[in-house]
Amino acid sequence: MRLDWEIAKRGWRRYAAYPWATAAGVFTNTIFGFLQAYILLAVFRHRSHVGSYDAADTVTYVWLAQALIMTVYVFGWQELALRIRDGAIATDLSRPLDPQRYWLAFDLGRAPYHLLFRGVLPFAVGALVFRVHYPSPLEALAFAGSVALAVVVSLGFRFLYNAAAFWLLDIRGVMTVAITLNLFLSGMVMPLTFFPGWLRSIAHALPFASILQTPVDVWLGKHHGADLAGVLALQALWAVVLLGLGRLALRGGARRLVVQGG
Amino acid sequence: MIEVEHLTKEFVVRRGRLRRERHVVEAVRDISFHVERGELLGYLGPNGAGKSTTIKMLTGILVPSGGRVTVAGLDPSKRRVELAKRIGAMFGQRVQLWWDLPLIDSFELLRHIYRVPADRYRTSLQRFRTVLDLDPFLHTPVRQLSLGQRIRGELTAAMLHEPELLFLDEPTIGLDVVAKQRVRDFLVEINRERGVTVLLTTHDLGDIERLCERLLVIDRGSLIWDGRIGELKERYGRDRLLIVDLERPVPPLEVAGAVVERVDGPRQWLRFRGPAADLTARVAAATRLVDLQIAEPDIEEIVRRIYAGER
């Protein structure tokens, strides 16, 4: 536990070392928030609901999505893949530490940094300009838990497609597919409730919804009681499944490992 | 400390896009050797000879295709994590420290990874700070360190948990003379004073000559020499070079008991064995000599001869 805490601290510091990257990210997220908010609001000129969302839900969704974009790391992450590709994985494996445990702890240190420094400011700007929905204390608490689970699911997924590097070395192709799937099916581009019924069912059956749509819906109070417990349990299940698959991939990959670069 | 018996590693390489052909490459082929506790030995070989592959099998990162390896009484690939606590490894060309963080951050994290008790960590770090003079850059991010500083950091990182056995892959690569000397002094100290067994892979023959008593030489996957450096010189180093400066350029001299190895203008290099006086007399009889010198083969020359296949 102490070790995980120490690793997590380094995860935080690693990203805190580059404040200008953070500032640039906040700026970009804010601009995109306005863009997406005005585009989606245009839809509500002619109707009061799309799926289960009204205009306030939708605007809240937009700013939450921008606020969580780095926290749940929807875009490409290839730190593990690069270590496999350039052979640095040899260093990782020569230490008495499981690489998956390392990256999970590191990511759980990174995520709060991004939530605080990439998330709070864009959301605050959005909340000033638009009318957003605020959660009840209980919903806020559930939201915090849901975001934490989302980070683990996201890391599980990223670890898995990075592990493809054991077989492919270059994962750019795999990563492009992974990001595209994740952007659409997590609800990053558009809330899943906007999808036609059949696609919505598919999206909710996949792990991607657990990465973004679930925490957003928890904030919006779309789940109550047993239903709320159910979606959180589903997130936890996906976390376990993806981490388990990542573990298998790591074991298989390490067995066929050819360490690059001498 | 290390026991290696008939160790072999094959890699399967696939070539071609449509009809993929399988080629089996033997990176290490039937190697056997033993290393006693407290030895400091050099592991030498040209690029691609199989040095790093051997080390990766010794640390458990690669699984051998055949043969048997025991390191510190453990089978490395089966008990990698357990072994990792007792050995240290440093690869001169790789960054093992955390790139974006201050050096001290890497040390603190390694202390937790290896579960070094706080008081032992403090004494250990204090010693490295003195011996390797780390204080001026202890709080500098690793990405801003010079190569020499970084290598000193890497050595500390490999040693903080006080391993019994240390694998060093090109620890002095790219370092200037002063930095090299500092690293060498440090290695001698930990070996002599603390009894740490060191296996050193290098292309730097200065490292070998100053540090190692015993040498393993590997070429194309096979062990072609295992013995003391003195014996190596004895066996491969009996030939000497007579370097003569003549009045003017002439075709390679033909004298009994010597072979001309190289000609550069009026200077010629003659390789010979036995007393120099007789040969010098014969050369002087054949042509007019301006100057001459005799060169003993250094380790570099000897290794070149071994690689060239002179057995």
Does domain B237-307 bear CATH number 3.40.50? Answer: no
Of B56, B63, B114, Cβ closest to residue A90: B56
Range from A232-246, A248-262, B61-75 carrying the lowest mean pLDDT = A248-262
CA dist B259 and B239 (Å) reads 11
Mean pLDDT confidence for A179-187: 95
Residue A156 C-alpha, separation from nearest chain B C-alpha, in angstroms: 22
Do B96 and A261 lie within an 8 Å CB cutoff? no
- Mean pLDDT, chain B, rounded, equals 87
pLDDT category at A174 given cuts 50, 70, 90 is very high
- Tokens (6 digits) for A208: 């991607």
Range from A90-104, B5-19, B95-109 carrying the lowest mean pLDDT = B5-19
> Looking at residue B237, what is its pLDDT?
72
> Looking at residue A262, what is its pLDDT?
44
* CB-CB contact of B44 with B25 (8 Å): no
Residue A202 C-alpha, separation from nearest chain B C-alpha, in angstroms: 36
Q: Is A131 on the interface with B (CB under 8 A)?
A: no
Q: Considering only CB atoms, which chain A residues are within 8 Å of B61?
A: 90, 93-94, 257, 259
Do A95 and B82 lie within an 8 Å CB cutoff? no
Do A10 and B141 lie within an 8 Å CB cutoff? no
Of B85, B91, B93, Cβ closest to residue A96: B85
pLDDT category at A150 given cuts 50, 70, 90 is very high
User: Which residues 6+ apart lie within 8 Å of B32 measured at CB?
Assistant: B4, B5, B6, B7, B67, B223
CA dist A154 and A165 (Å) reads 18
* ipTM rounded to 2 decimals: 0.82
Closest B-chain CA to A18:
B100
CA distances in angstroms from A164 to A178, A185, A254, B273, B311, listed in the order given: 11, 21, 11, 59, 46
Which is more confidently placed, B165 or B287?
Answer: B165
Q: Is the pLDDT of residue B13 over 90?
A: no
Give the pLDDT confidence of B149-165 residue by residue, as tens digits. 998 999 999 999 999 99
pLDDT category at A165 given cuts 50, 70, 90 is very high
Mean pLDDT confidence for B73-89: 90
Mutant choice from B62, B79, B103, B108 vs A, greatest count of A C-beta within 10 A: B62
Chain B interface with A: residues with Cβ < 8 Å: 11, 47, 52, 56, 59-63, 80-82, 84-85, 87, 89, 91, 93-96, 98, 100-101, 105, 108-109, 112-115, 141
Do A17 and B94 lie within an 8 Å CB cutoff? no
CA dist B127 and A22 (Å) reads 38
pLDDT category at A261 given cuts 50, 70, 90 is very low
Which is more confidently placed, B292 or B307?
Answer: B292
Q: Is A75 on the interface with B (CB under 8 A)?
A: no
Residue B252 C-alpha, separation from nearest chain A C-alpha, in angstroms: 42
Q: Considering only CB atoms, which chain A residues are within 8 Å of B95?
A: 88
B2-234: CATH, from 3.40.630.10, 3.40.50.880, 3.40.50.300, 3.40.50.1220: 3.40.50.300
Of B81, B82, B109, Cβ closest to residue A6: B109
CA dist A83 and B61 (Å) reads 14
Q: Is A95 on the interface with B (CB under 8 A)?
A: yes
Q: Considering only CB atoms, which chain B residues are within 8 Å of A94?
A: 59-61, 80, 84, 87, 89
> Looking at residue B273, what is its pLDDT?
84
Give the pLDDT confidence of A32-86 residue by residue, as tens digits. 999 999 999 999 988 999 999 999 999 999 999 999 999 999 988 999 999 988 8
Amino acid identity for residue B247 in this structure: E
Q: What percentage of chain B carries pLDDT values higher than 90?
A: 34
> Looking at residue B232, what is its pLDDT?
79
Residue A208 C-alpha, separation from nearest chain B C-alpha, in angstroms: 31
Which is more confidently placed, B142 or B307?
Answer: B142
Fill in the DSSP letter of residue A50: B
Which is more confidently placed, A1 or A122?
Answer: A122
Do A96 and B62 lie within an 8 Å CB cutoff? no
Give the pLDDT confidence of B186-215 residue by residue, as tens digits. 899 889 988 999 999 888 878 888 888 899
> Looking at residue B121, what is its pLDDT?
94
- Mean pLDDT, chain A, rounded, equals 93
* Domain residue ranges in chain B: 2-234, 237-307
Q: Is the pLDDT of residue B19 over 80?
A: no
User: Which residues 6+ apart lie within 8 Å of B130 measured at CB?
Assistant: none
Q: Is the pLDDT of residue A117 over 80?
A: yes
Do A96 and B56 lie within an 8 Å CB cutoff? no
How many Cβ contacts (< 8 angstroms) between chains A and B? 70
